[in-house]
Amino acid sequence: MGIKIIVCVKQVMDPETPASAFKVDPDSNKVTPAQGIPPVVNGFDENAVEAALRLKDNGDVDKITVISVGNNFVMDVMKKPLSMGADELILVQDDSVSDLDAFATATALAKTIEHVGEYDLILCGRQASDWDQAHVAMGVAELLNLPCISLAQKLDVAGGGITVQRSLTDGYEVVETKLPAVVTVTNELGEPRYPNLRGIMQASRKTPTILSPADLSLDADALAPKLALTELFIPVSDQKVEIIEGEDEADAGRKLALRLREEKLI
């Protein structure tokens, strides 16, 4: 008997979007999607999918269900976890859940998890690369009254419990808890696998389950924001760079050292 895992993922703007294509619309306080650059599954969420698949590779897992809350899902993008090897995809899709704050997002995800019903482990990415808040997963844990371990770089499941290496900047902590639990996954876990052809074929035959907020009894009250965005802007820098030139690149390197000496930086 293996465990049942739910992985929470988010569709985000590609964080590799070049700075020159990153635009903010000051009237709506929204980031303008860059032309021709499709969204992606949040990178840390792919790490979470990878963590689930590694446990599955070990024979510890019965089923991996991927869930997401949002709107305007690009199906080819959202199916990536399926093509990596996850079993099922559930999308809560509606205009009313497209622009939630973290508190409401956690509420919607917790309701979705309760709707799925059977789970032993909930995995999330450590943070989303758009709002960088790193608190939706903790909210899910608190709302479902589950233990929560953040920043996992390694996970081991045994005997109804989980042991996690929690990443530190100079090492790691070993944290243990009983299942069910919520764990957030960091990139130190290692690169997510690339979908292979068989995975892509299997994913193409799967149809995501689409739910509406009403299916989860989520009303406007439950989704009321606790945080209001009042301003979004691109900071301007008045930094001017002094480009050091030379007869050739090696000479430029020499001159750079001399210039830094002049400024007493060496």
Residues numbered 189 to 208 that lie near other proteins (CB under 8 A) are: 191
101 binds other proteins (CB under 8 A): yes
Span near other proteins by CB under 8 A; candidates 62-70, 161-169, 199-207, 210-218: 161-169
Give the contacts of 5 (CB within 8 A, at least 6 positions apart): 52, 55, 61, 63, 64, 65, 119, 120, 121, 122, 123
260 binds other proteins (CB under 8 A): yes
Binding to other proteins (CB under 8 A): which residues in 39-98?
Answer: none
Rounded-to-10 torsion of CA 109, 115, 119, 123? -10
Beta bridge partners of 184: 124
Q: Which of 52, 53, 90, 106 is close enough to bind other proteins by CB under 8 A?
A: 106
Q: Which of 27, 36, 117, 132 is close enough to bind other proteins by CB under 8 A?
A: 132
**In 3D, which of 92, 172, 70, 184 has the Cα closest to residue 135?**
184
Which CB, 95 or 170, lies closer to other proteins? 170
Q: What is the DSSP letter of 96?
A: G
Distance of CA 18 to the CA centre of its chain: 19
Terminus-to-terminus CA distance in the chain, angstroms? 63
Q: Which of 116, 138, 200, 223 is close enough to bind other proteins by CB under 8 A?
A: 138
- Please tell me the count of residues contacting other proteins according to CB under 8 A: 82
Instruction: Give the C-alpha separation, 11 to 28, whole Å.
Output: 20
99 binds other proteins (CB under 8 A): no
Binding to other proteins (CB under 8 A): which residues in 209-238?
Answer: 224-235, 237
Span near other proteins by CB under 8 A; candidates 63-71, 175-183, 201-209, 212-220: 175-183
Which CB, 78 or 185, lies closer to other proteins? 185
37 binds other proteins (CB under 8 A): no
Sign of the Cα pseudo-torsion (222, 26, 45, 176, in order): negative
